[in-house]
């Protein structure tokens, strides 16, 4: 069973692969330092909860749900920081 952090990492990786964007571009769009996502496809990548939160918020901001109930709200990074 995956933790919420592991699930978030998988969602972020899948979205970046699917969109074909460079990691630096995604980082900038998520208001992160350009090098923050540089190692995201390497085994053992261990991002901060705030990094995942920023990219997940970017994903939600550019995704339009088909149904209102599909829309999720970003988790507070302080709530998920201890889940690593």
The domain spans of the chain are 4-61+71-83
pLDDT at 80: 42
Q: Whose CA is closest to 45, among 81, 2, 82, 12? A: 12
* pLDDT, tens digit, 9 for 90 and up, residues 16-52: 999 999 999 999 999 999 999 999 999 999 999 999 9
Helices 4-19/49-62 angle, 10° precision: 50
Is 56:74 a contact under the CB 8 Å cutoff? yes
- Computed over every residue of the chain, the mean pLDDT equals 83
Is 49:80 a contact under the CB 8 Å cutoff? yes
- Ramachandran assignment for 45, one of left (phi > 0), alpha (psi -120 to 50 degrees), beta (any other): beta
Is 76:83 a contact under the CB 8 Å cutoff? no
pLDDT at 2: 86
């Amino acid at each position: 069973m995956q933790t919420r952090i592991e699930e978030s990492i998988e969602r972020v990786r899948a979205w970046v692969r699917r969109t074909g964007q460079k990691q630096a571009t995604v980082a900038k769009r998520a208001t992160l330092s350009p090098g923050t996502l540089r190692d995201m496809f390497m085994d053992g990548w261990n991002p901060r909860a705030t990094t995942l939160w920023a990219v997940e918020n970017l994903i939600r901001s550019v995704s339009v749900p088909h149904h209102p109930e599909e829309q999720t709200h970003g988790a507070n990074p302080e709530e998920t920081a201890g889940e690593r």
